[in-house]
Structure 1
Amino acid sequence: MDAEPTLLGRYLLQLSCGPAALDQLDTADLDRLARETAAALPPGTRQHIDLALRIDVRAELRQLSVPALVIAASNDILVTPDHSAALAQGITGSRLTQVMSGHDAPTEQPAAVANHLRGLLNG
């Protein structure tokens, strides 16, 4: 495997995982996960990242008319808590909550995310 996909895998790990999750891994684990992440990337990943960094959907948010829960991940550097707050503010009637995690909150904090979702579903 060439270096570029592995670098992308490492970059995505840094975006996806919060510091607490990364701190639990040694260098060998980080290298292994970077290689596995790179090997599992579907076609179009680079374009997806580019789109995520430039898309602006604020004007469309007011059109949503469904119950919405916005979960802000406190250590997310891809979708920062400020982005999550703006999203919640743009969706009428949405609820904003926060969990201590990186971008992949359901993996890092599955119980907390499940509790917040139960709260939304149970009214």
Structure 2
Amino acid sequence: MDTIAANGTTIAFKRSGKGPPLLLLHGAEADHSMFDAFGKELAPHFTVIAYDQRDSGGTRNPPAPYGLDVLADDAAALIAALGHRRAHVFGTSLGGAIAQVLAVRHADRVDCLVLASSFRVGTQVSAINPAGFPKFAELRSRLPDSLPEFAEYFFTREYLSSHPEALNIFKGNTRTAEQRRRRGVILAQPIAIDLGTITAPTLVLAGSEDRLIPPDHTLSLAREIAGARAAKIAGVGHVGTIQNPAAVAAEVVAFLQNQ
């Protein structure tokens, strides 16, 4: 991991491959390492930049609270600090929400945009999955005892059965209580954006078996963004970049290389 100063933070990042820059934005529970296998699939085609958001991994930031706007400003500042005028941007789950804000606030920094397993910024999370989110929150509050059931919101049951090591992903969270608190209130910070103002060519991806963010909600983002494409990846849950990195990468590479 390397580090660089950007937007008042010290951002930890991993860079690999060669070609046009492609910035990867991880989910709420994760850090850059969720893209280890995915990045290897992309590296033959792009300069892959996977970084840790505030209060994640090796990034160090001030103790003040922040929302999606600040996280989007961080991403824009990182692109510039690494010497790029623009970059392709891939965001998954919360990372996809940050990417939406980035594409609106910093359109000059975004070449093409990919939103995976994400949700519409400004929508109450509880309204997206009213049956699933209360149970998800209850399971999270009982970690690590609830880990096997909690993990099924991210991976299919079949995948976990054949890859029990996937549970270790949730055991490696090293955030302090204060870091978890700040991460936990990101979506409580008010923000409104108009997806219709996004000018970057956009691809929206959903896993067909996503139990956390319903695929139909994710795919509906494409209807608000002019010219956006949408695709559903069969057999994968919320974290497709881990469950089937080759399939997700194939969609991303095909889209970006045809723009």
TM-score, length basis structure 2: 0.37
* Mapped contact 1:8–1:38 kept (Cα < 8 A): no
- Structure 1: segments with no counterpart, 5+ residues: none
Q: 1:90 — aligned with what?
A: 224
1:11 offset after TM fit, Å?
5.2
Q: 1:122 — aligned with what?
A: 257
State the aligned residue count: 112
1:7 offset after TM fit, Å?
4.3
1:8 offset after TM fit, Å?
6.1
SS in 2 for 1:6: coil
Among 165, 175, 180, the residue aligned to 1:44: 180
Where is the strand percentage greater, Structure 1 or Structure 2? 2
Where is the helix percentage greater, Structure 1 or Structure 2? 1
Q: Structure 1 residues 13-22 or 70-79, which shifts more?
A: 13-22
For residues 155 and 244 of structure 2, the distance between their equivalents in structure 1, rounded to whole angstroms, comes to: 11
Describe how 1:61-72 pairs up with structure 2 within 5 A: 61-72=195-206
Describe how 1:105-116 pairs up with structure 2 within 5 A: 105-116=240-251
> Residue 112 and residue 121 in structure 1: after superposition, are their counterparts in 2 closer, same or farther (change >3 A)?
same
Where in structure 1 do 4 or more consecutive aligned residues deviate above 6 Å? none
- Equivalent position amino acid for 1:47 in 2: G
1:98 offset after TM fit, Å?
1.2
The structure showing larger relative contact order (alpha-carbon pairs under 8 Å, at least 6 residues apart) is 1
1:75 offset after TM fit, Å?
0.6
- Equivalent position amino acid for 1:94 in 2: A
Q: Identity of counterpart residues, as a percentage? A: 26
1:60 offset after TM fit, Å?
2.1
1:89 offset after TM fit, Å?
1.2
- Equivalent position amino acid for 2:184 in 1: Q
Cα RMSD, aligned residues only:
3.2
TM-score, length basis structure 1: 0.71
